[in-house]
Amino acid sequence: MLQLSTPSLRDAILRHLTYSFGKDPEHAILEDWRMALSYAVRDRIVDAWFKATEKTYETGAKRVYYLSMEFLIGRLLEDGIVNLELVEEAKAALSEFDKDYHEVLSDEPDAALGNGGLGRLAACFLESLSTVGCPAHGYGIRYEHGLFRQSFVDGRQVEQPETWLGQRHAWEFERPEVRYRIGFGGHVDMRGETVRWYPGEEVEAEAFDTPVVGFRGRWANTLRLWSGRAIHPFDLDAFNHGDYARAAAPEALARTISRVLYPDDTTEQGKELRLKQEYFLTAAALRDILRRFNNQFGDLRKLPDKVAIQLNDTHPAIAGPELVRILHDERGLPFEDAMEIARGTLSYTNHTLMPEALESWGEDLFGRLLPRHLQLVDQIDNAHATQNPSRTQSMRADHQVKMGQLSFVMAHHVNGVSALHTDLMKTTVFSELHRLHPDRIVNETNGVTPRRWLLACNPALAGLITDSIGDGWIDDLEQLQKLEPFIEDSGWIDRYWNVKKSNKIELSNWMGQTYGLHTDPEMLFDIQIKRMHEYKRQHLNIIEAIAHWQEIRENPDAGWTPRLKLFAGKAAPGYFFAKDIIRLINDAAVVINNDPVTNKYLKIAFLPNYNVSLAERLVPAADLSEQISTAGKEASGTGNMKFALNGAPTVGTLDGANVEIRDHVGPENFFLFGMTAEEVMERRTVENHARRAIDADPRLASALKLIREGRFSPSEPDRYAGVVDNLEGPDFFLVCSDFTDYWRAQREVDTAFADRTGWARMAALNTARSGWFSSDRTIRGYMADIWKAQSLLP
C-alpha cells in the first residue's frame, strides 16, 4: 500500500484550513477550525480504515452487516480524537491558534439519525465492532432531516425540522460510483418456472460512507448510508415548456425517500413512505453485500459462511423475501435452497414487546409496493406451515403481513436485549414460534461503549480510574473491578466524590449560562432522560415530586435532602398524552421552583431538545438515575447502564436490564421498588386497581387532586383533566399502584444521600461493578453465539 508520512496534527490542521477550506487563520470562523481539525483527524482514521479493509480481503474473513433504520451517532469529532488518543495533541494544536478545544468540538451538529435506544445502540455497536476488530458494515439511510428539534412554548413541546446537513459535515465520503436502482410497484410476470418482477417506479440509492474507528485506531469499519436520487433527475421537456415545478419533480420525489426520519419509536403508523424507506435501505444493502461477496467468493452457497446480516428490529425484515427473490428469481436457485441460504445468513433482534410497535402491513399496500415480495411471503408462510403442522399462527393473518413472525421464520437466531426481555419473548409474542424452534431465541444483553460514555464524556472520572488501575479498562471494562479495594480508602473516596462534585458544578454553570437556570451543585441531582412514554412513567416521577413538595411545605424545617430533578426527552409529535406530561412537568416546575418555602429543597427543570450531546453532559453529573418503567415494558434500557457506570445509583423497577444491573452492583447499591412483571400482569386484572391505590395513599390522592384542580395550570384549570382521568381510571401502566413504593424508595434515597461517604461508596461501587455493561461484551456475544465471526486483531 502507498505509504504517506503523517504530519503533526498542528500542521495537518493548518494545511486543511488553507488548502481544503481556503482560509488563513486570521479569517477562519469557528466552523472552519472545526472542519480543519475534523479533516486532520479523519486523515488518520482513513489510514486505519484502509488497513482494516485490506486485512479483511486478505484473510477472506466472514463479514458482519448491521442493517438498521437508525444510527443515532451524535457528534463524531470527539469520538475520533479520543479513539486515536489525540486529546492532548489536539488541545495543544488548537491553543497554538488561540482556539478553545471544547468550543471547537461543540460546533459540530449532532447527527440525530435515530429516535432513541434502538438507534443509539446501533451507534455503540458500530464503535465496539471496530474496537474489537470485527469486519463489519453498518447500513442505514442518510436522512436529510434527523429527529426534530424540540423547544417549549408556554411549556408545550414544539417541533422544528432538524438540519444537521445545514452546516458542513466532515465525516462522509460520497460514493457516486456506488448506486443501485431500487424498484417499487409494477407487475410480476410468471412463465412456468421463471418469475420476473417488473417494477413500475424506480429510484436510485447512492452510497455515503463514514469510517468508524475503534479504540487506539487498531481497526475501522464503515457506516454506509443510502441517499435517494432520481434516475432522470431533470425533465428537460417540461423545463423547455416553462413548467419549472414539473421539471424538478422527479428529483424532489426521489429525494423524499431519504428526506426525514420517522419520529415514532414505539408506535407503528403503517405509512407507505415508511415501507418504501425500509425496502430502499434493505434492497440497496443486499445488492451491495452480494456484489462484494460475488467479487470475493462467487459461490452463493457459501453465503452463510462469509456473510452475517443482522436485522435491527423488524424494520429491515423485508430482507428475508428480498434475498430469496434475488437467489431464486434472479440467480435461479431452487426456492428451498434460496430459503436455506437466506436463513443461514439472517438473524433478527427484537427491541420491544409493545404490541403497538410490532410492525404489520396491510396486504393491499404491501402488494401494491412489493407485489413479488407478497407472493414470496405467502410461499414462505406456506412452507413453514407444511413443515410445522401443529402451527396455528400465520404471518399472513387478517389481511396483514406480520413482520415479527416473518423475521422469526427467516432468521437462524432471534435475540432479545436483556435476560428478562428474552424470557418474555418466549412466553408472549413469540411463544408459538419458540415452541416450534426452541433453539432459535437467544439473549444478548445490551451494552454501551465506554469510550464515549466514560472516557470522553467524563474525563475527570476516567482520569481517576486510570490513575488508580491503569488504562486497561478502556477496552476491557471488567477491569473496573480492580477499583473495589480503593473504595475502602477514605482518601480515594474523597477524590471520587470531588470528581462527581466538579461534574455537577460544570453542569450547573452550563445550565445557568444556557437556560438561566440557577441550581445548587450541593443538591442531589436526580435525572430522568429518555423518550417520553407512558410506560417509562415520567408522570410517576413528577407526581411523586408534587407529593414531596406538599410534604416539605407542611413541615419545612424537617431537614429535607435538597434535590434537583432534571428531565429531558422528546415526545412523538402525535403522542398527545406524552406531550401533556411534558407540559405538566414544565407547569409544575414553574410553581414549585417559585415557592420560597420549598425551593431550597426541591427544584425541577425540563431541559429542551434532548440528544446525544446533552446526555453526554448530564450523565457524568448525575447522583441518581431514574429507571422507573412498568415492569415488563422496557426491553433493556441503555441509559440505565451509562448512569451506573458514571456513578449514579438507580432508583428503579425490576425491568429490562435494571435486573442485571442490580445483580451486578449489588441490591444494597440499588433502590428497588415496584411490582414485578408477573405482578403487573396480575394487577391489571384487579378491578379498580388505580382507585384502590389512590384510596390507600393520601399523598397520591392529594397530588392528583392538585393537578386536577389546576394548581399548576391556573389559567386553564382543567388542562390535565384527561391525564388524571386516565390515571384514576384505566391506568394501564400502573402509576398509581406503584406510587407508594416509589415514594418509599425515594425517601430511602434521601436518607442515604445525607450520608456523604456512604453515598460516595455506593456510587463508586456502581462504577466498579458496571464493567459487564460494555457494548464490547455484547458484540463479542453476538460474534460467538449468532454471527460466528472472528476478530481480525492480532
Active site residue 565: no
Among 352, 415, 586, 726, binds ligand NTF (CB under 6 A): 352
Active site residue 531: yes
Closest among 707, 687, 689, 708 to 697, alpha carbons compared: 689
73 vs 417, which CB is nearer to ligand NTF?
417
Number of residues that bind ligand NTF (CB under 6 A): 18
- Establish if 767 lies at the interface with ligand NTF (CB under 6 A): no
H/E stretch holding 737:
helix 735-754
120 vs 328, which CB is nearer to ligand NTF?
120
- Establish if 760 lies at the interface with ligand NTF (CB under 6 A): no
Cα–Cα distance between 348 and 408 in angstroms, integer? 7
CB of 118 to ligand NTF, least distance (A): 3
Among 632, 656, 771, 781, binds ligand NTF (CB under 6 A): 656
CB of 66 to ligand NTF, least distance (A): 13
* Sheet containing 671-672: order of strands: 602-607, 563-568, 524-529, 624-627, 650-652, 671-672
CB of 72 to ligand NTF, least distance (A): 10
637 vs 781, which CB is nearer to ligand NTF?
637
Cα–Cα distance between 602 and 208 in angstroms, integer? 48
Is the C-alpha dihedral spanning 448, 452, 453, 455 positive or negative? positive
All 3 cell numbers of residue 752? 442515604
Active site residue 642: yes
206 vs 265, which CB is nearer to ligand NTF?
265
Residue 237 C-alpha from the chain's centroid: 46
Alpha-helical (H) ranges within 260-333 are 272-296, 303-306, 319-325
360 vs 586, which CB is nearer to ligand NTF?
360
Residue 265 C-alpha from the chain's centroid: 10
CB of 608 to ligand NTF, least distance (A): 21
**Contact 140/71 with Cβ under 8 angstroms?**
yes
Among 266, 277, 630, 770, binds ligand NTF (CB under 6 A): 266
Report in angstroms the alpha-carbon separations of 198 from 304, 317, 362, 369, 712: 28, 22, 22, 12, 60
Closest among 1, 85, 16, 9 to 50, alpha carbons compared: 1
Phi/psi class of residue 448: alpha, beta or left (left: φ > 0; alpha: ψ in -120 to 50)? beta
Given 75, 218, 351, 708, the catalytic residue: 351
Given 62, 536, 708, 777, the catalytic residue: 536
CB of 640 to ligand NTF, least distance (A): 8
Phi/psi class of residue 162: alpha, beta or left (left: φ > 0; alpha: ψ in -120 to 50)? beta
CB of 532 to ligand NTF, least distance (A): 13
Cα–Cα distance between 110 and 171 in angstroms, integer? 12
Contact code string over 381-420 relative to ligand NTF, x by CB under 6 A = ------------------------------------x---
Given 315, 396, 421, 530, the catalytic residue: 530
**Contact 234/250 with Cβ under 8 angstroms?**
yes
583 vs 777, which CB is nearer to ligand NTF?
777
CB of 659 to ligand NTF, least distance (A): 12
Phi, psi of 138 (to 5 degrees): -95, 140
228 vs 656, which CB is nearer to ligand NTF?
656
Cα–Cα distance between 55 and 82 in angstroms, integer? 24
End-to-end CA distance of the chain: 19
Residues of span 81-120 touching ligand NTF by CB under 6 A: 116-118
Residues of span 44-63 touching ligand NTF by CB under 6 A: none
Which residues lie closer than 8 Å to 178 by C-beta, 6 or more apart? 206, 207, 288
- Establish if 265 lies at the interface with ligand NTF (CB under 6 A): yes
Given 142, 402, 451, 642, the catalytic residue: 642
115 vs 130, which CB is nearer to ligand NTF?
115
Alpha-helical (H) ranges within 297-447 are 303-306, 319-325, 335-345, 363-369, 371-387, 403-410, 419-427, 431-436
- Establish if 446 lies at the interface with ligand NTF (CB under 6 A): yes
266 vs 646, which CB is nearer to ligand NTF?
266
Closest among 8, 126, 20 to 72, alpha carbons compared: 126
Report in angstroms the alpha-carbon separations of 629 from 353, 537, 675: 14, 6, 10
Cα–Cα distance between 610 and 627 in angstroms, integer? 17
229 vs 533, which CB is nearer to ligand NTF?
533
Number of residue whose CB is nearest ligand NTF: 117
Among the candidate windows 1-9, 127-135, 350-358, 486-494, which touches ligand NTF by CB under 6 A?
350-358
**Contact 597/566 with Cβ under 8 angstroms?**
no
Among 107, 288, 313, 322, binds ligand NTF (CB under 6 A): 313
- Establish if 121 lies at the interface with ligand NTF (CB under 6 A): yes
CB of 415 to ligand NTF, least distance (A): 10
Half-sphere exposure of 647 (CA within 13 A, CB side): 30
503 vs 640, which CB is nearer to ligand NTF?
640
Cα–Cα distance between 101 and 682 in angstroms, integer? 55
Contact code string over 616-655 relative to ligand NTF, x by CB under 6 A = ------------------xxxxx-----------------
265 vs 776, which CB is nearer to ligand NTF?
265
All 3 cell numbers of residue 359? 410492525
**Contact 761/493 with Cβ under 8 angstroms?**
yes
CB of 350 to ligand NTF, least distance (A): 8
Report in angstroms the alpha-carbon separations of 275 from 282, 339, 366, 370: 11, 23, 8, 10
CB of 417 to ligand NTF, least distance (A): 4
Report in angstroms the alpha-carbon separations of 34 from 30, 167, 373, 552, 735: 6, 11, 46, 48, 46
Active site residue 530: yes
603 vs 777, which CB is nearer to ligand NTF?
777
Which residues lie closer than 8 Å to 15 by C-beta, 6 or more apart? 7, 40
Phi/psi class of residue 114: alpha, beta or left (left: φ > 0; alpha: ψ in -120 to 50)? beta
Residues of span 671-730 touching ligand NTF by CB under 6 A: none
Given 229, 396, 531, 579, the catalytic residue: 531
User: Other C-beta atoms within 10 Å of 370: how many?
Assistant: 29
Closest among 701, 695, 692, 758 to 724, alpha carbons compared: 701
Active site residue 402: no
CB of 316 to ligand NTF, least distance (A): 13
Q: For binding to ligand NTF (CB under 6 A), which residues are involved?
A: 116-118, 121, 265-266, 313, 351-352, 357, 417, 446, 634-638, 656
Active-site annotation, residues: 351, 530-531, 536, 638, 642
